[in-house]
Amino acid sequence: MSLVVVGSLALDTIETPHTRVEKIVGGSCTYCALAASFFTRPMIVGIVGEDFPRETIDFLQRKNIDLRGLTISKGKTFHWEGRYGTDPNQRITRKLEMNVFQDFRPELPPDYRNTDILFLANIDPDLQGDILKQMKDPKFVALDTISHWVEKKKNALAKVLERVDIFFCNDEEAARLSGENNLVRAGQDITRMGPSTVIIKKGEHGTLVFGRDLLFGVSAFPCEKVVDTTGAGDSFAGGFLGHLDRAGTLGEKELRRASAIGTVMAAFVVEDFGIHRFRSLELPEIEDRLEKFQRFVSI
Amino acid sequence: MSLVVVGSLALDTIETPHTRVEKIVGGSCTYCALAASFFTRPMIVGIVGEDFPRETIDFLQRKNIDLRGLTISKGKTFHWEGRYGTDPNQRITRKLEMNVFQDFRPELPPDYRNTDILFLANIDPDLQGDILKQMKDPKFVALDTISHWVEKKKNALAKVLERVDIFFCNDEEAARLSGENNLVRAGQDITRMGPSTVIIKKGEHGTLVFGRDLLFGVSAFPCEKVVDTTGAGDSFAGGFLGHLDRAGTLGEKELRRASAIGTVMAAFVVEDFGIHRFRSLELPEIEDRLEKFQRFVSI
């Protein structure tokens, strides 16, 4: 199979109670593609400015990520600045500079339009709809969003969701979108809006996965060391979709395995700032952690 | 084996966004003993006033709970009044009338002093220590507390914890007691304070269980209907200890099974106000839910 990831490549300035890092590489597309690259060969669609490190582009290439859909544009890369509290699951956005991302109207390269899985990471739902129209006949479409769009563009989001198979959201977004505080009912309601699979991410509390006549829950991996939670959700999606791309089906067994892999990839990425942990990560470590995780959740 | 539960029997006034119920039967000891009664024959130690419903005492007796340690005293039963928000995991205490519980100095009946498992549900840690001294040679001592004691009597709590095998607390209490916000490290720290098994209850987010060289996580059971979360933690402890009393060991396999049973018992009790759900509950329903739960957490 094949996987296209459309989303942001960014420079992030991150402040935690202990450290501040300036303009390190981030972005939903970057995290997702890197996490997926351990299981498949993802293609990406995104835009960066001239200030995006050449070294990172080389690294993405070494990780076997197909960069034909990456535009390097005059100007500066999308910049996000955020601060985390002592609770690493709580963050505030302090600055958002769209830069070259402002007028990004993604065009899929012709070779990308036959792809089996399309992942629309968080962007404006209208844009997500436009990209979806460029695809020939994808096997699965996956989509992520943020609460901003649930609030500001609920109708556009609902419209694109009708054509989506796998929807990733967090607990707050699920509650807002469905108008239902009970997450079990919220997830079930959202499966009736289009997606056959709904994944509610609860940060350190794990994940709920809803399908047709299917509901299962995956704890988070117990992390002793949490440095930076930026990109955890995108890395979950990357591991999840990377596995599904390899497996080729949305069968129950594969959905469970994909969720475990997503969980473990998220647990790796939070161990260091930005994408740093993915630089040293090797497949045997992932497999070892999957085994540990299997024991962790066994009752 | 045999299990003694020492704690409160109460009348609770509970307000949720939809309903208010006045002076229904509650109390840590009541919930715990009822949950345990499906697996063993618990003995209780507690005190009620003359206003405690005779019908409930008959019900506890029919559930095969040994009431020789129950004192019926002149005066009124301990009364708690609380209000839940739209998030059923958030509650505030609006009134606390100690009544006959004020001067409760539990004396274990002689027959109780040889019991295998002693469960000290939440009361003043000094009192918990006094009761512990009355025991001959229990196989396991389990203890629960609330954040009030962690704040106000941390030293007394630390002292009694040295003699405890199984410690139940919630995430907030674990963080306060250990001074560590990361729950994985918090739980590990607390195992070094005495208890060989530490159970951190996270409400709707499930449970973390720490042992010597052991850590596992149990999701909450997905509840579509949550009417009243009062007593969920005590029902978890009851199911957990009821199973251990039947199993007779703190081996890993039994700890995992006990956690699953505790989770399922908590998921039943929240479906109705107070202890009401335990009135209709039958063992086959519990077994059925345990099977469902096994599938729910399987990856």
pLDDT digits (tens, 9 = 90+) for A217-253: 999 999 999 999 999 999 999 999 999 999 999 999 9
Interface contact flag, A224 B184, Cβ < 8 Å: yes
Residue A237 phi/psi, 5-degree rounding, is -60, -40
The top-level CATH class assigned to B29-45+107-297 is alpha beta
Distance in Å from the first CA to the final CA of chain A? 34
Q: What is the DSSP string of chain A?
A: --EEEE---EEEEEE-SS-EEEEEEE-HHHHHHHHHTTTS--EEEEEE-TTS-HHHHHHHHHTT-EEEEEEE-SSPPPEEEEEE-SSTT-EEEEEEE-GGGTT------GGGGG-SEEEE-SS-HHHHHHHHHH-S--SEEEEE--HHHHHH-HHHHHHHHTT-SEEEEEHHHHHHHHT-SSHHHHHHHHHTTS-SEEEEE-GGG-EEEEETTEEEEEPPP--S--S--TTHHHHHHHHHHHHHHHH----HHHHHHHHHHHHHHHHHHTTSSTTHHHHH--HHHHHHHHHHHHHHH--
C-beta atoms surrounding A288 within 10 Å: 12
Query: Which distant-in-sequence residues (6+ apart) come within 8 Å of B237 by Cβ?
Result: B32, B35, B119, B121, B142, B144, B168, B262
Partner residue facing B299 (CB), from A181, A220, A259: A259
C-beta atoms surrounding A111 within 10 Å: 13
- Determine the pLDDT at residue A93: 93
CATH code, residues A3-297:
3.40.1190.20
DSSP strand pairing (A117-120 vs A140-144): parallel
- Determine the pLDDT at residue B162: 97
Q: Rounded mean pLDDT of chain A?
A: 96
A18 pLDDT tier (thresholds 50, 70, 90) = confident
- Determine the pLDDT at residue A29: 97
Residue A296, min C-alpha distance to chain B (Å): 4
pLDDT, tens digit, for every residue of A47-92? 999 999 999 999 999 999 999 999 999 999 999 999 998 888 788 9
Return the closest-CA partner of residue B172 out of B91, B72, B228, B287.
B91
> Residues A201-213: what's their mean pLDDT?
94
pLDDT, tens digit, for every residue of A131-170? 999 999 999 999 999 999 999 999 999 999 999 999 999 9
Query: Which residue matches tokens 């990172």?
Result: A56
Residues of A in Cβ contact (< 8 Å) with B256? 298-299
Interface contact flag, A216 B298, Cβ < 8 Å: yes
Sign of torsion, CA A115 A116 A120 A121?
A: negative
Size of interface A-B (CB pairs under 8 A): 84
Question: What's the rounded Cα separation, in Å, for the pair A146 and A201?
Answer: 12
Question: What's the rounded Cα separation, in Å, for the pair B116 and B109?
Answer: 14
Record the tokens describing residue A205, joined without a space.
């509390």
With b for 16 or more beta-carbon neighbours within 10 A and e for fewer, the A190-216 pattern comes to bbebbbebbbbbbbbbbbbbbbeeebb
| pTM beyond 0.90, yes or no | yes
> Mutating which of A172, A199, A210, A299 best tests the B interface, going by the most B Cβ atoms within 10 A?
A299
Interface contact flag, B206 A226, Cβ < 8 Å: no
- Percent of chain A clearing pLDDT 70 (strictly above): 100
- Determine the pLDDT at residue B86: 84
Partner residue facing B224 (CB), from A182, A257, A298: A182
Residues of A in Cβ contact (< 8 Å) with B86? 181
Query: Max Cα separation, chain A?
Result: 55
Residues of A in Cβ contact (< 8 Å) with B85? none
Decide: A102 and A79 in contact? Cβ < 8 Å. Answer: no
Return the closest-CA partner of residue B174 out of B150, B205, B204, B143.
B150
Residue A126, min C-alpha distance to chain B (Å): 32
- Determine the pLDDT at residue B157: 97
Return the closest-CA partner of residue A142 out of A5, A2, A264, A1.
A5
Residue of A nearest to B261 (CA): A299
Give the residue ranges of chain B where pLDDT is below 50.
none
Interface contact flag, B208 A217, Cβ < 8 Å: no
User: Does residue A212 register a pLDDT over 90?
Assistant: no
HSE toward the beta carbon, residue B45, CA cutoff 13 A? 27
Query: Does B219 touch chain A if contact means CB atoms closer than 8 Å?
Result: yes
Interface contact flag, B299 A218, Cβ < 8 Å: yes
